[in-house]
């Protein structure tokens, strides 16, 4: 019987019941599991987490599932049945947090929503992660990351120019920044409030709301009366000294010389003193022309030349890594941001490491993602012992 429990991290002693699926909630609970919380992933065996069937696979195990669910325990429980609900509430009495990701009202209909949970454990913190929140005209709509960033205005600001179609981001901004991260922030804030008041509460995480702070800088310009257009905002294409350029070998570098002191140094090194006054072009045509001049300079040497020049001169020139480059970057290696785990079925696989470093309570992955129901027997035995 498996009795594994977290051994380290700042959240030791916190028990989280995880009813979430796919990416946003599971990644959020995994981050807290890595930080020492005991996360029990509860799946109805009749409708388990859909991500289990998403390719690609390693020996039949979904790499997506492995990447979002490490450091957790797995309980197979049909919470739609009276017996399953009774087991859920027995476990709830010992828990600090429930996190769920169903449409508003769904868990209320089957009898395990916030009000029912609060009646069993008044101190419970119930975190609901949805696309649009628990209230408002869109609350009951289905959606995905692209829908949320569309409504939030983030997609409308993403792209090379006002004339181009908005670009689909390379990562899931609303799911992760608006869902995963906000669910962690909401959970920790509610735990602190409970420490102060002794009361639990319902935390309403809307991925649309949660992604909107990414707009803070450009919306400030808009609120100040500026016409902010896609690809022309200062930090997203509107400054030639802050952008991405292609090198001689067709690889890319970032030029991040935002401050005048760095830009002046760059102009001196590439022997272009007349460029000093072009940090803020007067119009899109001047911007495009000046970007072309900078691009012509970068095209004369391969990526490694420019990266070494940047490192040698503290010049804010860095490579645009491809995914295959990440595990070889010496800084990311030193920070343990690409790690290897050994799974009983999947074997060896690489995944993203723990992003937060704690000096007194270090966080680290406890074990690979569990197989379906791997901890059921042990958890049910613990519940039985608690009731005895």
- Any idea what the CATH number is for the domain that residue 145 is in? 3.40.50.10540
User: Are 152 and 35 part of one and the same domain?
Assistant: yes
User: Alpha carbon 270 to chain centroid distance?
Assistant: 38
User: Are 258 and 350 part of one and the same domain?
Assistant: no
User: Are 33 and 162 part of one and the same domain?
Assistant: yes
Strands 252-256 and 242-246: antiparallel
pLDDT band, residue 1 (cuts 50/70/90): low
Could you tell me the CA-to-CA distances from 312 to 22, 292, 309 in Å, in that order? Answer: 43, 25, 5
Q: For residue 115, tell me if it sits in a domain.
A: yes
Q: Domain range for residue 284?
A: 252-319
User: Are 163 and 287 part of one and the same domain?
Assistant: no
What total of structural domains would you count in the chain?
Answer: 2
Placement of tokens 């002046």 in the chain? 264
User: Are 152 and 268 part of one and the same domain?
Assistant: no
Whole-number pLDDT of residue 282 = 80
Q: For residue 232, tell me if it sits in a domain.
A: no
Catalytic positions, written as ranges = 175
**38: exposed, middle or buried (C-beta count within 10 Å: 0-12, 13-18, 19+)?**
buried
Q: For residue 228, tell me if it sits in a domain.
A: no
- E strand intervals along 247-308: 252-256
Whole-number pLDDT of residue 317 = 97
Pairwise pLDDT comparison (39 vs 387), residue with the higher score? 39
pLDDT in tens, 200-235: 999 999 999 999 999 999 999 999 999 999 999 999
Closest CA to 26 of 193, 172, 237: 172
Coil, helix or strand for 196?
A: helix
User: Are 173 and 55 part of one and the same domain?
Assistant: yes
- Of the three residues 289, 319, 349, the one that is the final residue of a domain is 319
Contacts of 370 (CB under 8 A, 6+ apart): 41, 69, 72, 73, 74
DSSP bridge partners of 39: 16, 72
pLDDT band, residue 194 (cuts 50/70/90): very high
User: Are 29 and 80 part of one and the same domain?
Assistant: yes
User: Are 171 and 84 part of one and the same domain?
Assistant: yes
Averaged pLDDT for residues 17-41: 98
Q: Are 103 and 140 in contact (CB under 8 A)?
A: yes
Q: Are 235 and 242 in contact (CB under 8 A)?
A: yes
Q: For residue 379, tell me if it sits in a domain.
A: yes
- Of the three residues 271, 294, 319, the one that is the final residue of a domain is 319
pLDDT in tens, 240-290: 999 999 999 999 999 999 999 999 999 999 999 888 877 778 888 989 999
User: Are 140 and 275 part of one and the same domain?
Assistant: no
Taking the chain, what is the end-to-end CA distance rounded to the nearest angstrom?
19
Q: For residue 342, tell me if it sits in a domain.
A: yes
Strands 125-130 and 97-100: parallel
Q: For residue 340, tell me if it sits in a domain.
A: yes
Coil, helix or strand for 223?
A: helix
**2 pLDDT higher than 90:** no
User: Are 127 and 262 part of one and the same domain?
Assistant: no
Q: For residue 260, tell me if it sits in a domain.
A: yes
Distance CA 152, CA 214 (A): 10
Please state, for a pLDDT cut of 70, what percent of the chain lies above it: 99
Residue 163's CB is within 10 A of a number of other CB atoms, namely: 10
């Amino acid at each position: 019987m498996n009795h594994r429990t977290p051994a380290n991290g700042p959240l030791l002693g916190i028990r989280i019941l995880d009813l979430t699926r796919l990416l946003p909630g599971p990644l959020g609970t995994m981050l807290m599991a890595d930080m020492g919380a005991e996360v029990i992933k509860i799946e109805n065996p009749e409708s388990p987490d859909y991500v289990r069937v998403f390719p690609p696979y390693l020996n039949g195990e979904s790499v997506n599932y492995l990447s979002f669910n490490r450091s957790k325990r797995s309980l197979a429980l049909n919470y739609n049945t009276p017996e399953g609900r009774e087991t859920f509430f027995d476990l709830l009495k010992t828990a600090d947090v429930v996190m769920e990701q169903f449409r508003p009202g769904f868990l209320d209909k089957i009898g395990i929503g916030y009000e029912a949970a609060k009646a069993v454990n008044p101190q419970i913190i119930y975190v609901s992660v949805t696309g649009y929140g628990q209230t408002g005209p869109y609350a009951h709509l289905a959606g995905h990351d692209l829908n949320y960033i569309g409504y939030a205005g983030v997609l409308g600001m993403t792209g090379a120019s006002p004339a181009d179609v908005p670009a689909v981001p390379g990562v899931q901004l609303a799911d992760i920044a608006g869902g995963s991260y906000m669910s962690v922030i909401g959970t920790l804030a509610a735990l602190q409030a409970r420490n102060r008041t002794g009361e639990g509460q319902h935390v309403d995480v809307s991925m649309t709301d949660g992604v909107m702070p990414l707009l803070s800088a450009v919306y400030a310009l808009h609120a100040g009366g500026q016409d902010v257009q896609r690809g022309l905002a200062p930090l997203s294409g509107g400054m030639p000294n802050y952008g991405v350029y292609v090198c001689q070998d067709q690889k890319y570098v970032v030029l991040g010389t935002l401050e005048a002191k760095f830009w002046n140094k760059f102009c001196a090194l590439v022997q272009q003193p007349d460029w000093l006054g072009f940090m803020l072009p007067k119009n899109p045509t001047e911007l495009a022309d000046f970007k072309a001049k900078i691009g012509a300079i970068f095209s004369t040497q391969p990526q490694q030349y420019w990266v070494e020049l940047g490192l040698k001169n503290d010049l804010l020139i860095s490579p645009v890594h491809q995914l295959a480059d990440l595990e070889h970057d010496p800084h990311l290696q030193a920070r343990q941001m690409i790690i290897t785990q050994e799974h009983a079925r999947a074997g060896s696989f690489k995944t993203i490491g723990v992003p937060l470093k704690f000096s007194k309570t270090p966080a680290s992955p406890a074990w690979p993602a569990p197989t379906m129901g791997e901890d059921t027997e042990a958890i049910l035995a613990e519940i039985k012992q608690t009731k005895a």
